[in-house]
Amino acid sequence: MEIKTVQTKTPPATVIPTVSPGLNPTGARACGPPIAVFVDSEGEGASGNLIISPSGEIISYDVISTGVNYTPFTLGYAKDDCGKGRGGALTPILGPVKVTKDPEKNYWVDENGFLIVDSEGLPITVLDYDGNVITDQGETRGVIGILIEESGTDYLTQPDGSFGGDGRTWSNPEDTILERVDKTLEVIPPGRIVDLIQNDIITLPPRTLEVTEPLEDSEDSGGEEIRGGAPYLMKKSGRITTPSVTYEKGESPYPISSNGSYPVVLYLCRVFVKQSGIYYNEGDEIVIEPNHGAKAVPVLGESGQVLSVKVTEPGEGFTERPRIYIRSETGFNAVLIPKFCIDRIGQDQLKEPSEVERLQGKLISVIDCVGKV
């Protein structure tokens, strides 16, 4: 089986400056997939997209930026602003990131030539493994992947039109959010008549459109077009009836840009040994259910403990986290955790009939939560 990988270079270490999300007066965040957060006293800039299965489990991670200066004490977790998903647990996988300092200027670039800067666009001082400043060339630590200890449940695969924050959902997909001039926040269900004034901020449900009607006591009111899906600052007064909307799950494997997502195919590249167990024998079989063509064999120690696992066939097309165990008459207590690698699928590939046939049922859509793909 041939695995085609679109991204051939090491993910950039660059910390790309944060782009302002624009008008977001309520402080609410669109509910969607969780994001990976890495906590470290020195490290900066690691980012990527968690990959969520159709059943709502975290199954993989697509590295966008490795970041720099991370230490062995780096912690990671899955953050769900709206509190819809729960139970996911992840551990950062750290690895070397090659960097070079410009001899004439005070900044560093990674091996892909990307400038290493912080969220404000200022150069980051890059440190080696011992905490010393890299003055010419060297290696620092970055987050090159994650180990998913627990996949969790009920995470969103894509934004569903609801808003929230601080671990709870503030509004449902069909609700309208209104922030009054005095900062009073209203969550309004469909079918309600609402009077708006200048400088109110309103967020209609996505894929809706309303045109305000004039108010009886105001000559300069009405006629203002409001499109749903984003906060809108009222330019004048008017009246609307909050819209009703029915959402249907999309079928397209290749998303449009407004969705901010992209398709991938997952294959098994590593199996980590969380617990080695004991008393396993040569010839014991690693079972992967479902396997999608993947195969692996255990490497055993003198007492039958599992030292490591060798993946002999990567398979292709995982959309859910498989169960992995060792079938043995004597061995017990081994705990194995799969790690999936990513084959990004280009839009051109989906125009080729042979590729469409090969990828049938194998694609999984990834929401670009960090906005850098």
pLDDT of 181-216, one tens digit each? 998 889 999 999 999 999 999 999 888 999 999 998
Confidence check: pLDDT of 297 > 90: yes
The H-or-E segment that residue 359 falls in is helix 353-359
Mean pLDDT throughout 112-132? 90
Residue whose C-alpha is closest to residue 143's, from 11, 262, 273, 302: 11
Higher pLDDT, 219 or 338: 338
DSSP string covering 172-236, please?
-TT-EEEE-TT--EEEE-TT-EEEE-TT-EEEPPTT-EEEPBPPTT-SSB---EEETTS-EE-SS
21: CB partners within 8 A, 6+ apart: none
Confidence check: pLDDT of 80 > 60: yes
Strands of the 108-110 sheet, one edge to the other? 108-110, 86-101, 137-153
**Strand 294-300 vs strand 306-314: parallel, antiparallel, or unpaired?**
antiparallel
**Count of alpha carbons within 13 Å of 150, Cβ hemisphere only?**
12
pLDDT tier at 60, thresholds 50, 70, 90: very high
Cis (ω within 30 of 0) for the bond into 103?
no
182: CB partners within 8 A, 6+ apart: none
152 near 179, Cβ under 8 Å? no
Mean pLDDT throughout 4-31? 58
pLDDT of 34-50, one tens digit each? 999 999 999 999 999 99
pLDDT tier at 233, thresholds 50, 70, 90: very high
Token digits for 67? 């970041």
Mean pLDDT throughout 246-256? 45
Give the whole-angstrom CA distance, residue 17 versus residue 111: 19
233: CB partners within 8 A, 6+ apart: 23, 199, 200, 201
pLDDT of 154-190, one tens digit each? 999 988 878 888 889 988 889 999 999 998 889 999 9
Amino acid at 364: I
Q: Is the pTM of this model over 0.85?
A: no
Give the whole-angstrom CA distance, residue 50 versus residue 62: 6
Most confident of 27-31, 323-327, 351-355: 323-327
pLDDT, residue 28, reads: 67
Q: Quick one: 348 exposed, middle or buried, by C-beta within 10 A (0-12, 13-18, 19+)? A: exposed
Confidence check: pLDDT of 373 > 80: no
pLDDT tier at 355, thresholds 50, 70, 90: confident
HEC secondary structure over 280-324: CCCCCEEEEECCCCEEEEEEECCCCCEEEEEEEEECCCCCCCCEE
Give the whole-angstrom CA distance, residue 15 versus residue 38: 13
pLDDT, residue 276, reads: 97
